[in-house]
Structure 1
Amino acid sequence: MFEVSYPRSVPERRPEGHQPAAPRFSLRWPTPRLTLVSVYFGMQQDALSRADKLAFFARIRGFLAQADGPQADEVMQCIDEAGLDNAIVVAYWTDPTLYARWLATSGFRSWFEAHAAANGAPGYWLEPVVVPYDRHETIYSASNYKVGFARTVGAEIVSITTNGFFGAARDRLPLSAVDVLDSPVHGVLSPAAARTSARGHWIAELPHNATLLRSGQYWEGAGQEQLEDYIERLQPKLMRGMQHLMSTRSETGCLSLRIMTNVNEDGSPRSETSVYAGFMSMAQLEAWAASHETHLDIYRHAIAMNRLHKEKREVVTWHELFVPQLGNVFEYINCHPMTGILPYARALRVQTGE
């Protein structure tokens, strides 16, 4: 299995002699995947009907079906911080050249940019994340469910032991062996930009060494006992943690956060959710995870259930984490001013839409 490693010059976080209490898994590919591409396509409006969402999913998937399209995609929905409906497609490439060719030939760009001249709703957004392999890590609680990058061709879920301690996610990042991954602005969030409208086409630059995390939960087919435990006890803890991250941005460095639900082909919700969040720095995400009661509640509960059910745990949890370098830009067309990273990133209005 392909993996990147460097002679370590930055101390690892793993305690000496640590042995994890529960099995965990991560992704590998049999041949080199030097750059990974994860792209989020979104549409937002005050109220989107199921038909609106299905039409958007079909439109984006039509573009994705063109030559050099992704190896995997998923469709989701969420209510954002402004209370607007969002329909979302995420697509995964393991070859950036294919992604670049797809952008140039699929017709998506001209369709996307044409909306900048429109007045009013809906809004559209595009958040592509392009990262070298050594700036990503993944973890799965079970090996029998593939989601995210795990659905790309050749991906395999393999057993790991770099888990069960605070700082494990950093240790799983190959680059962390030689790079402390500091935020260039020390994780300080500037005040939200005072914009009353984001009409037109905006391009926002993701800060260097920001951290992007998609953390998922899947409970389809879980038995009554474990399902009730997740819905009634663990899920409320997750939601309290997410509300804390959003309500204390200056402390947590939370750039954006979406609580997304996967949907079926007919638009009905699946028994599957994920949170997609951006942070100014990995250190701020780690500080919340290691010390704040809202995350410790989540952590303690998950560990207790894993120890109780062991290999019979029926609720799958997972995440994929990226620490992009300078150069990633997100785009927003006719979106409300709090969309994505718009309020906290350097943004350029390239088209007024007027």
Structure 2
Amino acid sequence: MSWTPDYPRTVPERRPPGHRPRAPRWTLGFDAPLSLVTSDYLALQCAGPDDPAVGPFLERVRACHTGRDGADAPEAWELLAFTDEAGRHNLVHLGYWRDATAHARWLATAPLPRWFAELDAAAVPFGAWHEVVQVPLDRVETIYSDPRRAFGLAACPGTRRESMTVNGYFGAARDRLPVSAIDPLEAAGPHRRRARPAASEGRRLRAECGHNTAVIRSGQYWQNAEGEQLADYTEALEPKLMAGMAHLREAADAEGTLSLRVMTSLDRETLRPLRETSVLGHFHTLASLEGWAAGHATHAAIYEHAIAKNRQYGEARTVVTWHEVFVLPRTAAFAYVNCHPATGILPYATSVLAVEPDDPAADSPAVYGG
């Protein structure tokens, strides 16, 4: 039995009558009901992988998953890295929880979030940021091209990949969001770049994004690809993907892009890069993301290539793609400490508030329904 919410539809679905998908796809099912799902991104922003701050950061990461400090640890977690717009190295701890109370306890007691809460923005020689995405289950949708490996939220216990047919047409992602049956998920205001960059360096900021902001993590996994399939990914599909991401960054004002990061997955023990990446994107609304997917040549190139290769290789396909989408209710607040002003949602935040490390607000990087 699946516990995904199901509402009587009052908003028309996007699925065309009689639609049959061109390729099989799977979505995430849950074995028990739950109130909120959480993905928690806590990152170090520094000069490079050899920066002196990396070692202490990793020590706190590992402490969060062992002994007494690991009591409320994420049910699934990853290490990722990327170079941002300013050339800074970002090392990211990503955790997933099905239990929002366990996550709240982790924020209050675990070494990594406590370290972040106590940073003195005016004194540290590095930056750090904390973005928590926490939503009811009816504001989550997922899709996987292969059910045999658990990615992202799917790595949590008590979940499973289920075959589906709500895929293969524009608007399918919206239709997979249970809340879309009763809510058009519209924005409360326009997409607008802030008139002046946030004065973020040397300060601790809380930045808010607007109602119904859409957050997508879209993954690519080719760790097991060899020969022809490996060459196809690196020489054909990956360049098309990067062209699409470059467009979404460069046309951010027109496309509704708030933030876009292409992250590489790391081996948790050796820190070696894996043949796995994921794009973490924040968009003004789901409609912004849909507009690019439905109408821009860069997405058409990615989509048609993936469909063609799935047809060619079938179950022997060793390149796996997937995504998870969260639509944020009301307001979410993200925290940035001594970061450069292009970090995360800072260029488009609906509000930015400076806080002190001992301010109670500094201990709450995200507020659900706040």
1:76-111 deviations in whole A, cap 9, x for unaligned?
Answer: 100011111000010000011111122223244442
Asked whether the equivalents of residues 41 and 130 of structure 2 are also in contact (C-alpha less than 8 Å), the reply is yes
Q: Distance in 1 between matches of 2:216 and 2:17?
A: 27
- RMSD across aligned positions (CA): 1.7
**Counterpart residue identity of residue 341, structure 1:** I
Rate the CA distance shift 1:95–1:118 in 2: closer, same or farther, 3 A. same
Q: Distance in 2 between matches of 1:261 and 1:200?
A: 28
Q: Secondary structure at the match of 1:271?
A: strand
Q: Corresponding residue for 1:350?
A: 355
Q: Corresponding residue for 2:147?
A: 143
Q: Distance in 1 between matches of 2:315 and 2:195?
A: 45
Asked whether the equivalents of residues 220 and 278 of structure 2 are also in contact (C-alpha less than 8 Å), the reply is yes
Asked whether the equivalents of residues 15 and 172 of structure 2 are also in contact (C-alpha less than 8 Å), the reply is yes
Q: Corresponding residue for 1:175?
A: 179
**Counterpart residue identity of residue 326, structure 1:** R
1:306 matches 2:310: yes
Q: Corresponding residue for 1:245?
A: 248
Q: Corresponding residue for 1:257?
A: 260
Rate the CA distance shift 1:117–1:304 in 2: closer, same or farther, 3 A. closer
Q: Corresponding residue for 1:40?
A: 41
1:194 is displaced (CA, Å) by: 2.5
Q: Corresponding residue for 1:219?
A: 222
Q: Corresponding residue for 2:368?
A: none
Asked whether the equivalents of residues 256 and 340 of structure 1 are also in contact (C-alpha less than 8 Å), the reply is yes
Q: Distance in 1 between matches of 2:171 and 2:15?
A: 7
Q: Corresponding residue for 1:2?
A: 3
1:63 matches 2:64: yes
Rate the CA distance shift 1:148–1:51 in 2: closer, same or farther, 3 A. farther
1:116 is displaced (CA, Å) by: 2.3
Q: Corresponding residue for 1:317?
A: 321
**Counterpart residue identity of residue 23, structure 1:** P
Q: Distance in 2 between matches of 1:53 and 1:150?
A: 28
Asked whether the equivalents of residues 15 and 171 of structure 2 are also in contact (C-alpha less than 8 Å), the reply is yes
Q: Distance in 1 between matches of 2:194 and 2:327?
A: 23
Q: Corresponding residue for 1:295?
A: 299
1:166-208 deviations in whole A, cap 9, x for unaligned?
Answer: 110000000000000001114x223363345432210011211
Rate the CA distance shift 1:32–1:142 in 2: closer, same or farther, 3 A. same
**How many aligned residue pairs are there?**
352
Rate the CA distance shift 1:309–1:238 in 2: closer, same or farther, 3 A. same
Q: Distance in 2 between matches of 1:107 and 1:222?
A: 37
Q: Corresponding residue for 1:128?
A: 132
1:101 matches 2:101: no
Asked whether the equivalents of residues 20 and 164 of structure 1 are also in contact (C-alpha less than 8 Å), the reply is yes
- Sequence identity, in percent? 47
Asked whether the equivalents of residues 61 and 111 of structure 2 are also in contact (C-alpha less than 8 Å), the reply is no
Runs (5+) with no aligned partner, structure 2: 359-370
1:270 is displaced (CA, Å) by: 0.3
Which residues in structure 2 correspond to 1:197-212 (within 5 Å)? 197-212=200-215
Q: In structure 2, which of residues 74, 79, 83 is the aligned counterpart of residue 79 of structure 1? A: 83
TM-score by length of 2: 0.91
1:290 is displaced (CA, Å) by: 0.5
Asked whether the equivalents of residues 262 and 278 of structure 2 are also in contact (C-alpha less than 8 Å), the reply is yes
Q: In structure 1, which of residues 326, 332, 335 is the aligned counterpart of residue 336 of structure 2? A: 332
Rate the CA distance shift 1:11–1:339 in 2: closer, same or farther, 3 A. same
Give the 4+ runs in structure 1 shifted more than 3 A.
50-55, 107-110
Asked whether the equivalents of residues 260 and 279 of structure 2 are also in contact (C-alpha less than 8 Å), the reply is yes
Rate the CA distance shift 1:334–1:233 in 2: closer, same or farther, 3 A. same
Rate the CA distance shift 1:107–1:269 in 2: closer, same or farther, 3 A. closer
Runs (5+) with no aligned partner, structure 1: none
Q: Distance in 1 between matches of 2:162 and 2:278?
A: 22
**Counterpart residue identity of residue 8, structure 1:** R
Q: Secondary structure at the match of 1:276?
A: strand
Q: Distance in 1 between matches of 2:52 and 2:152?
A: 25
Rate the CA distance shift 1:337–1:50 in 2: closer, same or farther, 3 A. closer
1:13-35 deviations in whole A, cap 9, x for unaligned?
Answer: 11100011111001111111221
**Counterpart residue identity of residue 351, structure 1:** E
Rate the CA distance shift 1:25–1:50 in 2: closer, same or farther, 3 A. farther
Q: Secondary structure at the match of 2:281?
A: strand
**Counterpart residue identity of residue 196, structure 2:** A
Q: Corresponding residue for 1:273?
A: 277
Q: Corresponding residue for 1:90?
A: 94
Q: Secondary structure at the match of 1:301?
A: helix
Rate the CA distance shift 1:77–1:54 in 2: closer, same or farther, 3 A. farther
Q: Distance in 1 between matches of 2:273 and 2:56?
A: 16
TM-score by length of 1: 0.95
Q: In structure 2, which of residues 239, 248, 256 is the aligned counterpart of residue 236 of structure 1? A: 239
Asked whether the equivalents of residues 189 and 280 of structure 1 are also in contact (C-alpha less than 8 Å), the reply is no
1:229 is displaced (CA, Å) by: 0.3
1:3 is displaced (CA, Å) by: 1.5
1:189 matches 2:188: no
Asked whether the equivalents of residues 193 and 344 of structure 1 are also in contact (C-alpha less than 8 Å), the reply is no
Asked whether the equivalents of residues 131 and 323 of structure 1 are also in contact (C-alpha less than 8 Å), the reply is yes
